[in-house]
Structure formats: C-alpha cells, structure tokens
C-alpha cells in the first residue's frame, strides 16, 4: 500500500490536454499544488484555462516546460513530488506518413523519459499512467477468442501493429514499456497504477483540446453521416469520471494494476438517437445503419479507416467489464445520455456546428 502525502505537489504531464485539464481542475479545487508540464508555458491560448481555474481554486498551479522526447526535461517539474500523473501522449489519427515516427516512438520514448525521471527523483512513490482500452483490445473481432467473451484488465491487445491500427498499437506499446520499467526496479521504489478508458466524451475545459470523440460529434452535427452509420459498437465514458479515476488511483493507498473505465457500450446509431431525442431534427443526425458490405465498400473512401478495420469491427459486438473501477476506485458513472448531450451542446455553443436552417444554435 502506498500512502501519498496530499500536502506535497502533484505532477501532471500534458496538463493542457482534454483529460489532463479536468485532472488539474479537480486537484486545484481540492487544494493541491500542481506541477503542470506543457510544451510552452508562454503560449497563453493553451494554458489560459488552467490559470483561470487556479485563480479561483485554493490550490496552487506551477507551469513547467517539457517535451516528451527531451530527455531529463521532467526532472525539474518532478522535484518534491510523491505522485506523478502521466497523461502526455501523441494524439495523431491521420495525416502522417510514418506511423512509427508519428505515434509509436513518441509514445514509448515519452513514457520512458518520464519514468526515467521518476526513478531519478528519489521522492516519487506512485505513477498513474493514462493508457487506453486500446492497450487491452485491438479490434472488436478479437473478442471471439477471449474466454467468456468479455474484456477485463487481464487482457492485452495483440492484434494491432504499426500497419494495422497504429494509434492503438502506440498505446499498448507505451503501457508495456511502463510495466517493463516498473518491474525492472531493484529495489522497487515506486508503484504503477494504470487507467484504461474507452472513448472519452464530455465537455472540454478549452476549445483547443483535441479528441477523437469531438471529431465524431462534429461529423454527426455537420451531417457528414446523415446517409447512415455502420453497425459499430464502442465504449463511452465521461471525461469527468476519467479525471476523478486518476485522482483516486493516485490517492487510494490500495490502488494497483489496470482499471478499465467504461460507462456503457453503445452503437453509433444509438449515439445518434440520444442526440436526436434532445436536439430534434435541427441537425442531420443519421437515422439508419449502413449494411456492412456497403460500409466495407465505401468507408475507406470517406474516412481514415481501412477495410481491414471495418471487416474486424463493424457488426462485431463489444463487451467490457468495468467492475474493478467501480469497486477499487469507487467510480459512479454518469449516464451516457448526460455526457453526450452536454458535449454536443458545448460544440453547438462554440459555433462548431450549425442547424439545418443555418443558425448557429438551437
């Protein structure tokens, strides 16, 4: 069991990110001192929301410059910290020519650089790593080979590679590297607790945070999926639940191992139905499911997915066991309906989508 002193600073890497911003917010509101690493503390558009939160919270925010591939750059930010929450990771889903250079190497080397600093620090007792469900499962079709037909924390993604689902592969490669470095300690000075969220939705604390979920919302809101969506299931979880889970993983002494975070598994058509129930016909949300052969034929022409991805995910059910997060971290999941409606409302309020009649808001 690892007891973290709440009076000592907590390091959060990649602090301006979608999930990390909520982690920083909750830490500051609980009175913690937060050492927050960002690429450029002088870039006000990326840190202004963190400074605004800190101005109203009892905690203290200290910004540090750090880059994942810059060896030793996390040392200064880690001074005096017993808890490190490592969220920083490359988030690039398209537009690259070399998946290894764009995704895998930065994810693995970045994790290694942070944990090397942890080992040098002399003060860090626990690292909470933001991983992903992608480190547990690659394609929905893989579930057919899983005993019991349900993914748990015991499973690892073995089907992704640099050539197939490279983003997913980067997540599993980075987490495996983290566990390798953790297990190699002699003697063991710090422990590792891992958070494995499914697709994360919910309001962002900044307009500039990138996430795969907002891309899906934008495509739905802008009518790009109005002709129909494939029968594709994936897990949903609220960003605020994910942030809370990181704090509990850090401060609950008995926390250990991996934790799947998933509120509910839902198909894309189910997501569209939830949004239509709230926003009516103001937006061109899809109403139908596209047959798998049609999705397989035309999908690669209109998106960044491959035919192999479609073949191994469309029409395949997904089952995820979230019981460990509920018992070990006491996570009370928000309803998916609340998460999706609040996130889409923010997209509307930010003027990122327009109604069918051309107006900005409903």
Q: Which residues of 264-273 are buried (b: 16+ CB within 10 A; e: fewer)?
A: bbbbbbbbbe
- 3-state SS string for 138-197: CCHHHHHHCHHHCECCCCCCCCCCCCCCHHHHHHHHHHHHHHHHHHCCCCCCCEEEEEEE
The encoded tokens of residue 63 equal: 């910004």
Q: In what order do the strands lie in the sheet with 199-201?
A: 199-201, 233-238, 264-267
User: Which run of H or E residues covers position 61?
Assistant: strand 60-65
Q: What is the dihedral of CA 321, 11, 171, 179, to 10 degrees?
A: -80
324 an active-site residue? no
Active-site entry in 25, 171, 186, 224: 171
User: Which run of H or E residues covers position 85?
Assistant: strand 83-86
Beta strands at 126-130 and 289-290: parallel, antiparallel or unpaired: unpaired
Instruction: For residues 329 and 5, give the distance between their C-alpha atoms in angstroms, rounded to a whole number.
Output: 18
Is the bond leading into 187 cis (omega within 30 degrees of zero)? yes
- Give the residue numbers marked as catalytic: 171
């Amino acid at each position: 069991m690892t007891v973290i002193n709440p009076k000592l600073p907590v390091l959060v890497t990649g602090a301006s990110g979608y999930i990390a911003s909520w982690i920083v917010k909750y830490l500051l509101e609980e009175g913690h001192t937060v050492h927050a690493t960002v690429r450029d503390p002088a870039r006000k558009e990326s840190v202004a929301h963190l400074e605004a939160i800190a101005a109203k919270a009892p905690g203290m925010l200290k910004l540090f410059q750090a880059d994942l591939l810059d060896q030793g750059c996390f040392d200064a930010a880690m001074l005096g910290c017993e808890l490190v929450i490592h969220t920083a990771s490359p988030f690039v889903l398209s537009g690259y020519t070399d998946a290894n250079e764009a995704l895998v190497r930065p994810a693995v080397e970045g994790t290694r650089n942070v944990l090397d600093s942890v080992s040098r620090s002399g003060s860090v007792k626990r690292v909470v790593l933001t991983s992903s469900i992608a480190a547990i499962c690659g394609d929905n079709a893989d579930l057919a080979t899983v005993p019991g037909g349900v993914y748990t924390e015991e499973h690892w993604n073995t089907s992704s590679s640099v050539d197939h689902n490279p983003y997913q592969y980067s997540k599993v490669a980075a987490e495996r590297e983290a566990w390798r470095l953790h297990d190699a300690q002699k003697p063991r000075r710090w422990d590792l607790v891992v958070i494995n969220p499914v697709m994360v939705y919910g309001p962002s604390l900044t307009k500039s945070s990138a996430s795969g979920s907002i891309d899906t919302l934008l495509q739905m809101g802008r009518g790009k999926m109005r002709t129909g969506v494939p029968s594709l299931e994936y897990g949903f979880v609220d960003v605020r639940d994910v942030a809370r889970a990181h704090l509990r993983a850090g401060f609950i002494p008995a926390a250990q191992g991996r934790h799947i975070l998933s509120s509910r598994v839902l198909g894309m058509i189910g997501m569209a139905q939830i949004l239509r129930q709230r926003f009516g016909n103001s937006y061109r949300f899809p109403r139908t499911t596209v047959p798998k052969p049609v999705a397989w034929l035309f999908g690669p022409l209109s998106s960044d997915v491959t035919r192999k991805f479609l073949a191994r995910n469309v029409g395949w059910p997904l089952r995820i066991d979230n019981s460990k997060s509920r018992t070990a971290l006491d996570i009370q999941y928000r309803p998916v309906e609340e998460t999706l409606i609040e996130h889409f409302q923010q997209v509307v309020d930010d003027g990122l989508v327009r109604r069918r009649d051309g107006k900005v808001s409903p």
